Structure 1
Amino acid sequence: MVTKKLYYQDQYIRNFTARLQKSGRDEQDRFYLVLDETAFYPTGGGQPHDTGTLNGMKVHDVEEIEGEIRHYIDVPAEVHKEYTGELDWDRRFDHMQQHMGQHILSAAFEEEYGYRTVSFHLGTETCSIDLEIEYLSDEEMSLVEKTANKVVMENRPVETRWVSEEELSNFPLRKEVSVSTDIRLVNIADFDYNGCGGTHPDSTGQVSSIKMLHWEKQKKKKIRVYFVCGIRVQKQLQKKHKVIQDLTDTLSAPQEELNETATRVLLLNKELEKKNNDLKMELIEYEADSYIEKANVQADRKIVREIFTNRPMPELQQLAKRITAKTDRILVLLINEKDDKLQLVCSRSEDAEINMNDLVNHVLPVINGKGGGNNSIAQGGGERTISAEQLMDELVDHVKKISGT
């Protein structure tokens, strides 16, 4: 059972009528139907499927499986009935523009530099091709884009034809075809000859324009180039213009000075962050001295115990470290209340013989917590199953127990 593909005959078909051949559910329990012929393009060759309706029912996916094209719908199909199909033409024509643009762009890369395209992806916002190279310069991108748009502006005819394997030698193909039967060529006069089963306009002018956006390195020594064609170029321009206009208003600078102004603002922000961090460290130094002065004395050591609310953990860690670095024979027990959580930081000076990692791990089960550290400093957090004061009592009691006081 093979579905006749109407888009191979006329890619500009928007409406058609066909008879039901088969209906059912697939392995994922999705409803589908198969027609004797269809204009819906199934996913393949880097191009997404068409969408539209069949007798008013939304077609949300189209796949080709063993020669039959399955149209996925939301409800069961009625058997032995004709179906009138209507394609989402805006989506179809957008795909035609992007796919044709890819042919032109790939051919331009080979024409100018011999760079070969090894894969193509047509996304919902942008498209991409992977080139078999390790680096791409701005100058190369500029020249290739200029060549590609020259072919678009010349409005060269695009011809699709079916050929046999023996006839392939008559065409200067850009790459080898992947099939040996039902070979379909898409040719741009005097520029590109390529085996392809996708949908394309019948002239390069309908692509309208091609714009490369950027490139990035991929694994296995490849470069991925992102681009858009046709109506997507206008959408990208509108989107980027809005961003630029918003930045112009935010930074109070004209467009041509945005980069310089943004750089200046970022440098200023870094300086302010550094000053802010320096001030925080100064405050922590003062805090550390204050806590040392009012530390409780227990046996032959001092203990700092304090409960905070919504204090950042890095600050508590710094505070604990500064206290233990400034004086001898001292333990620091800090607890932080944050939303419905309890956090704790415990540290000691080098001469205080209590293992902080053991201390923290002893109390963490009480709050269903997790954490860790080393002999000198440890931290953790968990649920507020008890109050912060009760958790502090647990810590102090365990310190007394293991120190024998």
Structure 2
Amino acid sequence: MTKKIYYSSPYTTEWETIFKKSFTKEDKYFVVLDETAFYPTGGGQPHDTGTINGIEVLDIFNDETGEVVHMIERLPETTQAFCSLNWRRRFEHMQHHSGQHLLSAVCYTLYNAKTVSFHLGQDYATIDLDLSELNPSQMEKIEQTANEEIYHNRSIHTYYVTSEELAKLPLLKMPKVTENIRIVEIEGIEYNACGGTHVLRTGEIGIIKLIKAEKQKGMIRLYFKCGLRALQDLNEGQQILGKIAAKFNTGRYEVMGRIEKWEEEKKKLESELAKVKEEKNAYVAKELLLKKEGDFLFHVFDDKSFDELKNLAIIMAHDHNLFILFASTLENKAVVVHNGTKNVPCGKFLKEHMGSFNGKGGGNDKSAQAGFPTLEDTLNFLDFSRRELLKKIKN
């Protein structure tokens, strides 16, 4: 069995060993080392990366026998293995795994919330807590307490215990394994059975930054970042805030006031614009009514969005008891509308005819719409529909 250096010496970044076995399976290449510091995926922690003889390590996992298997880009040509670990990735994993233990302990101490599961992804880490609610003030308390424990720089010990020794430890959750039981102890905080890699002291976690909390299957999923990732996230947030402040020509601490003022001005302008549109539509409607043919009104707009003309069509159909066919050449879309008093089902009419003009759409008896790939298709459909609808309405 491969010697697992990642347990005995988790800060090892380079080492020399030999290949115990190499093989190919399904056009992929695998090796087993005599000793390895590459951590395999497991316990919520992703695998390490790095190189073996300059060859990229793509994946690391435990096979069915418990052996550590390394998937690499190609098979090596020698029996000697010179290994180099991607230390930044490993250290981020160590920061987050130790950070998770500390965060889980704080959540339990403060709110009696047990951690049900842990996941460490590329962008953030999560724990699922057996809580139904977690408000912002509680999150602030958790974050503050966890970071205070980081500043105390408590020792983190890892060691193996027997079943008899395990029974004497105050674990919240008993491990599934009965042999090679590995304990991670944060001095004065908690004991936890764990197979992950960890830093030696809480100070190395750097910082724990809570991102958000959301409900997930009756529990609370807490998103967080630690150490290097948390610092990067905070720096990116500062840069974004700085750019927003520059847009409003103000300082970072005054930016919220400026945004609130901008929102008020925006609402006022939107209200004024709505009044202008309403007045304009009234004028347009008055002009359009001069074009109606009995109860039928047809018009093609080249200066209105489809949403605008659709709203106008609905209002005019209701107010003037009309059957309306409007279209927009800006978007190559058409709408047919009436107030329910006409004997032509709009949706059925479109379904029967729009396909002949490469159109797609649908609707109900009183309103339907269709879009067309080209202006030519749109105009051909409108020419046909105008003639057909006039016949149907007169009948």
Indicate the SS of the match to 2:191.
strand
The answer to whether the aligner puts 1:390 opposite 2:380 as a matched pair is: yes
Q: Equivalent residues in 2 for 1:350-369 (5 A)?
A: 350-369=340-359
Q: Paired residue for 1:379, among 344, 366, 369? A: 369
Output the amino acid matched with 1:69: V
Equivalent in 266, 269, 273 of residue 272 of structure 1: 269
After superposition, the Cα gap between the structure-2 partners of 1:350 and 1:169, relative to the gap in structure 1 and judged at 3 Å, is closer
Q: Using a 3 Å threshold, how does the CA distance of structure 1 residues 197 and 351 change in structure 2: closer, same or farther?
A: closer
**CA deviation digits over 1:205-262, x for unaligned, max 9?**
2222222233222222x11222222222322221121122122212233333322322
- Displacement of 1:156 in angstroms is 2.0
TM-score of the superposition, structure 2-length normalised?
0.91
Cα gap change, 1:351/1:132 in structure 2, threshold over 3 Å: closer, same or farther? closer
- SS of 1:112's equivalent in the other structure is helix
Matched residue, 1:203: 201
CA distance in 1, matches of 2:161, 2:268: 67
Could you tell me which of 298, 302, 315 is aligned with 1:305? 298
Residue type at the aligned position of 1:166: E
The equivalent of 1:331 in structure 2 is 323
- How far the C-alpha of 1:190 sits from its partner, in A, is 2.1
**Number of matched residues?**
394
Provide the residue aligned with 1:68 in structure 2.
Answer: 67
Q: Which residue of 1 aligns with 2:101?
A: 103
| 2:313 equivalent to 1:320 | yes
Q: CA deviation at 1:98?
A: 1.2
1:346 aligned residue:
336
Matches within 5 A, 1:47-66: 47-66=45-64
**1-side partners of 2:111 and 2:379: how far apart?**
72
Query: 1:317-343 deviations in whole A, cap 9, x for unaligned?
Result: 112123223324x4322222346xx32
Q: Within 1, Cα distance between the matches of 2:390 and 2:107?
A: 76
Within the alignment, does 1:225 sit opposite 2:225 as a pair?
no
One-letter amino acid of the counterpart of residue 48, structure 1:
P
Q: CA RMSD of the aligned region, Å?
A: 2.4
Which one is further off, 365-374 or 304-313?
Answer: 304-313
| Structure 1 residue 99: Cα displacement | 0.9
Q: Could you say what secondary structure the match of 1:383 adopts?
A: coil
Change in CA separation of 1:399 and 1:127 when aligned onto 2, cut-off 3 Å: same
Letter of the structure 2 residue corresponding to residue 261 of structure 1: R
1:259 corresponds in structure 2 to 256
- In the alignment, is the contact (CA less than 8 A) between 2:347 and 2:362 conserved in 1? yes
Q: Deviations over 1:51-95 (max 9, x none)?
A: 1111101112222222122222223x1366222110011111111
The farther-off stretch of 85-94 and 304-313 is 304-313
In structure 2, stretches of 5+ residues that fail to align are none
Indicate the SS of the match to 2:236: helix
- The runs of 5 or more residues in structure 1 that have no matched partner are none
CA–CA separation in structure 2 for the residues paired with 1:214 and 1:343: 42
The match for 1:10 is 9
Seen in structure 2, the aligned counterparts of structure 1 residues 384 and 195 have a Cα distance that, compared at 3 Å, is: same
Separation (CA, whole Å) in 2 of partners of 1:386 and 1:218: 51
Q: How far apart are the structure 2 equivalents of 1:105 and 1:87?
A: 27
Residues of 1 paired with 2:17 and 2:126: CA distance? 35
